[in-house]
Amino acid sequence: MSAQSYDTFILAFSDPASISPNPQRARIPANLSFEIFDDSHLRTLSTNNGGGDIEGLLYVPDLDPSDPCVNISTKYVPSNVTRFSDLPPVQYQYIAFAPWISAACTKSYLAAAQGNTAFMFYLPDNGNTTPPPVNDQTWNLNDGGQWKAQYKFPVYAIPGSEGTTTMQQLAQYSGNSSNDKIDSILSEFQFDSSDYVRLYTSFGTSGSNNLPTLWAFLLIVLGVVLLLIGLTSVTMHYFQRRHRRALQRRVENGEVDLETLGIKRSHRMPQAEIDKLPKYIYVPTNDTPDDKGLGQSSTPSSETASDNHTFFSQSSCTICLEDFIPKTTEVRSLPCHHIYHPHCIDPHLASRSSRCPVCMARVLPTKNEPITNAMVRAERRLRERQRLHGVSADGIDGTTWLTNFRRQLERRRRVFSAPGATSDTVQPTRSQIEMNAVAGRAVSSPLPTHTPTVMSGAQTEARTGEGRPPPADVTARRAHMNRRLSRMRGPERTLEDEEAERWARLPRWRRAVGTVFPGFG
Amino acid sequence: MAQKRIVKEYSELQKNPPLGMKISLPSEADMHQWQILIDGPKGSPYEGGVFTLQLSLPTEYPFKPPTLSFKTKIYHPNVTNDDKGSMCLGMLRADEWKPSSKIDAVLGFARRLLSEPQPDDAVEGGIAREFKENKKEFIKNAKAWTKQYAKK
Ligand SMILES: [Zn+2]
Ligand SMILES: [Zn+2]
């Protein structure tokens, strides 16, 4: 096991051999004795370990007297240093300690280690720097690294200066009470005079040093992942925007009619667009309502000019059913000339539909409606389907056409028999119009070209001449085909409904993915 | 806004109740749940029966349509034959609903539906088929159910 820190200190403990009633051990504070704690200069040379704490009493192994290393070592190892025989033979773990002088002597020391938990070396000339890395030549024992497998304990190396100090201390705390220092410690901590005071070393295998590097690594990995996600997201957003713009261009050029494709049936309006709709002070029509509606009476000559008043026959707001108060109530007029309280119609336009609640006429010019990703998808889907079904301007076969015709007839019948479709209609029979906006906005020609009529989606379709055979000229044919396609789409539902439903069905994580990676799935 | 309009519509309907209908609130505190009692229209197989309907007004009313359901079991192609008794067609459908439509119209619609079922928009396919192909049998069944479930 690799270690990041070690702590060598003085430990006083009862003699395990004695029959003391309550054996004790005490860590002697550094100010009374000695301690080295280092969490930044430890080098792990070999990691063999079955697990558990790596700690124990420190000693220098006894070399064979005939070993030349004994002589070589005398320079570093004092004669009265703590030996294995100076330690109690039971109850404790042991950590061997020796200078790394040469390959041969290290081998001797390793071989002489007894009952080992670990071996701690130091390079006497290494100063106070971290010993060289594991693969450095310094640690070469000329056996191809085999020694690491041979000795089943971890091997560590500490800086030279720390090793030298430790060696000196190991000589001081080796014997029994013949030593003043040991004597005073034993008596101060109320030990028996025959008890031990020795160096004890403990390695920190899960030291704090390791975590930062691990965290840093994880953070880097996380950062890279986030960066990749971000880049992908940006790219996907970019492409989605390009698709939206492309579709927008095609809509503007008249190549695609989203309306007939059934892609946009209702849409929300941006507040800015709503604010552009004119507001007037309500004034009721004061002459008799004209049955023929707008057609005749709204000619400029019959208008009564007044600065900020508008005359309307619609006397109440169809949303809240409240009556408008003449010359007091402010009303918002939609392009279809239906009027509402701004506080009633604005939220509707902003959050539900950009169509007039009464006549369902679109409030926003088609061109100005924003293109959404969903529209791009739907348009592509329709084009795809068009390709698969082989529907082309020429490929209209009689049977489908007949089926459509029949369905159309049926639809029309249903619409006309459906009560309510026309009963709740409020037609603005505007007899007098004055179009000076309250906001002082110039309003373009107020002249409607035809009476706004109630038209449900089905009726609109019924009016589009579906019952006739495909027209001959190309643009009409294309429109015809688009209508056919819109029929293939199935039941009348707005894209927003579909999108909202689809979205609601998705689990939360899929929604998140969809937001980050638009167009994914 | 919804609340104000609902109260207004309710009081108008109390003043001028539609023919053959009784409108009440099961709970005075909740203006969004109405109880409607409809007499089966004359000449229809439902004649002689009284049908209890529940009208629920969504918080988004009038921007979203009310929902109408039969609490009394009824043999009708446009009403589900379960304990919900729900119906969803015509002006009650979200995409056909218009905020300017009033509850008065909704109730009229429901009443007319009793006289003229719309088998093409059916929720009960079997009943719709019977209505189209075997009117006699349909009338017989509808009458039997009316007798059994919608007795006065
Ligand atoms: Zn209003
Ligand atoms: Zn309108």
DSSP A247: H
- Does any CB of chain A come closer than 8 Å to the CB of residue B90? yes
CA atoms within 13 A on the CB side of A337: 29
Q: What is the ipTM of this complex?
A: 0.80
Q: Which helix (H) or strand (E) is B24 found in, with range?
A: strand B21-24
Structure tokens at A323: 């009556």
Q: Which residue has the higher pLDDT, A145 or B41?
A: B41
Residue B63 C-alpha, separation from nearest chain A C-alpha, in angstroms: 7
Ligand 1 ion local residues (Cβ < 5 A):
A 317, 319-320, 341, 344
| CB nearest to B109's CB, from A419, A425, A497 | A419
- Does any CB of chain B come closer than 8 Å to the CB of residue A275? no
Query: For residue range B1-56, what is the model confidence (pLDDT) as tens digits?
Result: 678 889 999 999 999 988 889 999 998 888 999 999 999 999 999 999 999 999 99
- A426 has a pLDDT exceeding 50: no
pLDDT averaged over chain A?
A: 73
Q: Which residue has the higher pLDDT, A477 or B112?
A: B112
pLDDT of residue B98: 84
| Mean pLDDT along residues A278-282 | 88
Q: How far is CA B29 from CA A416, B3, B68, in A?
A: 39, 12, 20
pLDDT of residue A445: 39
pLDDT of residue B136: 92
Nearest to B23 by CA among B68, B85, B60: B68
Lowest mean pLDDT among A291-295, A334-338, A472-476, B75-79: A291-295
Does this model's pTM top 0.80?
Answer: no
Nearest to A268 by CA among A377, A375, A347, A378: A347
- Cβ distance A426 to A316 under 8 Å? no
Q: What is the distance between the alpha carbons of residues A154 and A46, in angstroms, rounded to a whole number?
A: 5
Lowest mean pLDDT among A23-27, A139-143, A432-436, B66-70: A432-436
Q: Which residue has the higher pLDDT, A68 or A457?
A: A68
- Cβ distance A113 to A96 under 8 Å? yes
Domains and CATH numbers, chain A: 3-208 (3.50.30), 271-363+415-490 (3.30.40.10)
Nearest ligand, CA of residue A320? 1
Query: For residue range A192-249, what is the model confidence (pLDDT) as tens digits?
Result: 877 888 999 998 875 444 556 778 889 999 999 999 999 999 999 999 888 888 888 8
Nearest to A374 by CA among A295, A482, A265, A289: A265
Amino acid symbol at A242:
R
| CB nearest to B105's CB, from A417, A423, A494 | A423
Which residues on chain B are in Cβ contact (under 8 Å) with A493?
Answer: 95
> What is the four-CA torsion angle of B91, B94, B97, B99, rounded to 10 degrees?
150
- The single residue of B21, B25, B37, B88 carrying the catalytic annotation is B88
Local confidence band at A434 (pLDDT 50, 70, 90 cut-offs): very low
Share of chain A above pLDDT 70, in %: 66
Q: Which residue has the higher pLDDT, A296 or A283?
A: A283
- A297 has a pLDDT exceeding 60: no
Nearest to A481 by CA among A401, A421, A403: A401
| Mean pLDDT along residues A17-42 | 83
- A10 has a pLDDT exceeding 60: yes
Residue B49 C-alpha, separation from nearest chain A C-alpha, in angstroms: 23
- Cβ distance B79 to B150 under 8 Å? no
- A468 has a pLDDT exceeding 80: no
| Mean pLDDT along residues A336-352 | 87
Q: Given the structure tokens 């009564």, which residue do they identify?
A: A304
Fold classification of B2-149 is Ubiquitin Conjugating Enzyme (3.10.110)
Structure tokens at A507: 């689990």
Share of chain A above pLDDT 90, in %: 18
Which residues on chain A are in Cβ contact (under 8 Å) with B8?
Answer: 321-322
Q: Give the number of A-B residue pairs with CB atoms closer than 8 Å.
A: 72
| Mean pLDDT along residues A299-320 | 57
Neighbour count for residue A362 (Cβ, 10 Å): 20
pLDDT averaged over chain B?
A: 89
Local confidence band at A167 (pLDDT 50, 70, 90 cut-offs): very high
Q: What is the distance between the alpha carbons of residues A15 and A6, in angstroms, rounded to a whole number?
A: 25
Contact at CB, A493 and B63, closer than 8 angstroms: no
Structure tokens at A37: 């704690």
- A128 has a pLDDT exceeding 80: yes
Q: Hey, which of A34-48, A182-196, A264-278 has the most confident mean pLDDT?
A: A34-48
Query: For residue range A479-514, what is the model confidence (pLDDT) as tens digits?
Result: 555 544 444 443 445 566 677 777 788 888 888 888
pLDDT of residue A259: 63
User: B45 CB contacts (<8 Å, ≥6 apart)?
Assistant: B75, B138, B139, B142, B143, B146
Share of chain B above pLDDT 90, in %: 58
Q: Which helix (H) or strand (E) is A240 found in, with range?
A: helix A210-252
pLDDT of residue A247: 83
| B88 labelled catalytic | yes
Polymer length in residues for chain A = 521
| Rounded to 5°, angle at Cα A193 from A192 and A199 | 90
Query: For residue range A176-190, what is the model confidence (pLDDT) as tens digits?
Result: 546 777 888 888 888
- Cβ distance A425 to A459 under 8 Å? no
Categorise residue A321: left if φ over 0, alpha if ψ from -120 to 50, beta otherwise. left
| Mean pLDDT along residues A304-315 | 54
- B152 has a pLDDT exceeding 80: no
- Cβ distance A495 to A268 under 8 Å? no
| Rounded to 5°, angle at Cα A519 from A515 and A520 | 80
The SS3 of residue A1 is coil
- A471 has a pLDDT exceeding 60: no
The SS3 of residue B108 is helix
Q: What is the distance between the alpha carbons of residues B12 and B104, in angstroms, rounded to a whole number?
A: 9
Which residues on chain A are in Cβ contact (under 8 Å) with B105?
Answer: 419-420, 423-424
3-state secondary structure A265-330: CCCCCCHHHHHHCCEEEEEECCCCCCCCCHHHHCCHHHCCCCCCEEEECCCECCCCCCECCCCCCE
Q: What is the distance between the alpha carbons of residues A164 and A102, in angstroms, rounded to a whole number?
A: 16
pLDDT of residue A110: 92
DSSP B91: G
| Mean pLDDT along residues A37-65 | 85
Q: What is the distance between the alpha carbons of residues A32 and A397, in angstroms, rounded to a whole number?
A: 106
Which residues on chain B are in Cβ contact (under 8 Å) with A459?
Answer: none
| Mean pLDDT along residues A39-63 | 84
Q: Given the structure tokens 């029309």, which residue do they identify?
A: A412
